[in-house]
Chain A
């Protein structure tokens, strides 16, 4: 009975617990956990999909570059919600504890806990990647904001009527000319 078998055996349970743990950071998490339709429940649906993919990658020791797609699915959302960066990312770490908890409760597989170093190191790498992704999305958000300001939308509220401004300038010019 090796580690990969143990991950397969407990996989669904671990991912479910991980998803619920991540979703428990929302004030009203019942619906997010229960509703499985990704379009009716984009937060829960994307988190479930993302963590399922990520867990498989973590357990097979995949190249950390492959973590990006499933992480983005989660972090893009967390980055615009009312969390501090730490709050946004910390639940990713939770999987380490959830795995240990699952193995501890399983007499036949309890001994595998000592072999979890590689898995937990992969989780560390994923969390580090998640920080980069978090910042990438925050920067994108600022760029979106700047692009919107440049697009002219702000003219709605942040500028005077162009023709009215022209009037003022004219008056200043006339005043200046008169004073000369």
Chain B
């Protein structure tokens, strides 16, 4: 009696063949179409933003229009298929990596269960191997002999509108975090496959607003927020005032100062939104403590580069701005703040796109004399490397008890950890400034789990999706929260600071998010300070 009832219960809770109650799926993945509904996709780019970008030199964003993924008709150009296939052919020619990634996958499945989107959704198309197959199947059909002859038997398929829609769905359910790539025995960078799919989609006018509007703002004013120079300057000056009222120390700052030794660039979110603001206050205090000769720029006022999430031309253009400004100001090198993907662009693509930056010098710490050989090519030093070096040489004085309100853990932000190998430096810093514990081994360092909302997915209309994608990260945070009483998740990425805040609010309320430099500045002891008991460090409200 009970067994048939159980089956009936299954039937009542399962709609459609895809949720197959443990049975073998009745249809091949190629035959399961995507379905767009409110909440499972990010809003598409606004027409005026696409038009604006398309009018800019060096950029091409055709087919600006009003459209909705929920409609059958996506208002594609008549020759959309030719455009896509030609675009793919061009990219196969231009990017050797893409050609290799298309050819060399043996479908071993090592990556399959490493993706936070797969772990949070259980959707097989979120297995990195299958996400790449979405493109690879078309590649086989058009560019390989086996695919042409054997068709579906060789895993090849025709490029159709349905395939295009599938590309849109799943290339925006990937945060290009590259966790899968470290498990791939062939080193396939599946993030680059996602990047290529997104590039191809832009050729026919398919993109999301949360990526293209920041891109257009950055192109126009130099930062994601669209802040103009005076507003950016005002914001930093507000932070100077806050630092002064908290500590009695008034940091000296300058903007666009020619002849400064160092240009400092950080994500604009740090100077305008909580909790990044406290990290920016941290930079100000730290630089003041060591008397650094540096300048902010109101033009290179953004470290983030949403071009990385768009296409290589846009990435190149937005990255070039930072180096152009460094050259214009005549600084020796660039010091970069706590940003995630900026470092991926700088470390992996800058040299090819805009290098060599031979108008800058090999970075040397003016305080310790340390030569940053690792940054000899990019001419850009990470704030954590810089700070760790200061600590190593005893140039900073700390009172760890000033962070006694914090029990921290450290989230390795994907790009610094996997794209530039910044693993030990933040930990070395934390050891000196705060009481902290690690999360479980398979969720940190190179194996770190993404916040679930990177690559421009940090938008509120897909909150459910973001929460399930962030589950593997949150699950580990919850564990240390319950086991060790962790109340602060520190990280070195501005997107993390925004997205992990929402993630914690859902999964582990009571755990805050901060930048590592905020914790540094909380603990720093410097001359001339008149700070009282700051019970919450730089977050203390002073009236």
Q: Which residues of A contact B10 (CB under 8 A)?
A: 21, 24
Asked if A124 is an interface residue, CB under 8 A from chain B, the answer is no
- The answer to the question of A178 belonging to the interface, with a C-beta cut-off of 8 Å to chain B, is no
Q: Whose C-beta in chain A lies nearest to the C-beta of B5?
A: A97
Tell yes or no: B1 within 8 A of A by CB: yes
List the B residue with the shortest CB-CB distance to A163: B228
> Within 8 Å CB of A20, what residues of B?
22
Distance (Å) between the CB of B478 and the closest chain A CB?
9
CB atoms of B6 and A24 under 8 A apart = no
Q: Which residue of B lies closest to A33 (CB)?
A: B22
| Residues of B close to A28: CB separation below 8 A | 118, 122-124, 127
Asked if B214 and A157 sit within 8 Å, CB to CB, the answer is yes
Complex interface: chain B residues within 8 A of A94 (CB):
6, 9
Q: How many Å lie between the Cα of A89 and that of B122 in the bound state?
A: 17
Give the secondary structure class of A's interface.
helix
- Give per-residue flags for B192-219: 1 if the beta carbon is below 8 A from chain A beta carbons, else 0: 0000000000000000011001100100
Most buried by A among B25, B225, B443: B225
Return chain B residues, CB-CB under 8 Å to A137: 506
| Residues B446-478 near A (CB distance < 8 A) | 458-460, 463-464, 467-468, 471-472, 475-476
| A164 vs chain B, min Cβ distance (A) | 8
Q: A39, B40: Cβ atoms under 8 Å?
A: no
- For A21-64 the 0/1 string (1 means CB < 8 A from B) is 10111111101100101111111011000000000000000000
How many A residues touch the partner, as a band? Answer: 35 or more
Identify the closest chain A residue to B273 (Cβ): A152
Which residues of A have CB within 8 Å of B87?
none
- B interface size (C-beta, 8 A): 66
Q: Are B209 and A157 in contact (CB under 8 A)?
A: yes
Interface residues of B (CB under 8 A from A): 1-3, 5-6, 9-10, 12-15, 18-22, 25, 40, 112-113, 118-124, 127, 209-210, 213-214, 217, 221, 224-228, 230-231, 272-274, 440, 442-443, 458-460, 463-464, 467-468, 471-472, 475-476, 479, 498, 501-502, 505-507, 509
Which are the 6 A-B pairs with shortest beta-carbon distances? A26-B122, A24-B22, A100-B2, A161-B226, A42-B475, A90-B13
Give A residues with C-beta under 8 Å from B: 20-21, 23-29, 31-32, 35, 37-43, 45-46, 76-77, 80-82, 84, 86-87, 90-91, 93-94, 96-98, 100-101, 104, 137, 140-141, 143-145, 147-149, 151-157, 160-164
